[in-house]
Amino acid sequence: MQAILALVGRPNVGKSTLFNRLTRSRDALVADLPGLTRDRKYGLGRLGERDYLVVDTGGLGEESDEIDTLMGEQTRAAMREATHLLLLIDGRAGVTAGDEMLATELRAMGKPVYLVVNKIDATTPATAMAEAYRLGLGEPLPISAVRGSGLDRLIDTVLPDG
Q: Applying CB under 6 A, which residues contact ligand GDP?
A: 9, 11-17, 118-119, 121-122, 144-146
Of 16 and 69, which has the nearer Cβ to Mg ion? 16
Which one of ligand GDP, Mg ion, none interacts with residue 2, CB within 5 to 8 A by kind? none
Which one of Mg ion, ligand GDP, none interacts with residue 145, CB within 5 to 8 A by kind? ligand GDP
- Strand partners of residue 41: 56
Question: Rounded to the nearest whole angstrom, what is the least distance from the CB of residue 161 to Mg ion in the complex?
Answer: 30
Neighbours of 18 (CB within 10 A): 26
Tell me the angle at which helices 15-23 and 151-158 cross, rounded to the nearest 10 degrees. 90
Q: Are 9 and 87 a contacting pair, CB within 8 Å?
A: yes
Does 51 carry a binding-site annotation?
Answer: no
Does 162 carry a binding-site annotation?
Answer: no
Cα–Cα distances (Å) from 106 to 29, 61, 160, in that order, read: 29, 17, 21
Output the residue with the shortest Cβ distance to ligand GDP: 14
CA atoms within 13 A on the CB side of 154: 30
Does 20 carry a binding-site annotation?
Answer: no
Question: Rounded to the nearest whole angstrom, what is the least distance from the CB of residue 81 to ligand GDP in the complex?
Answer: 19
Which one of Mg ion, ligand GDP, none interacts with residue 11, CB within 5 to 8 A by kind? ligand GDP
User: Does 61 sit near Mg ion (CB under 5 A)?
Assistant: no
Alpha-carbon distance 30 to 157, whole Å?
24
Residues making up the annotated binding site are 9-16, 56-60, 118-121
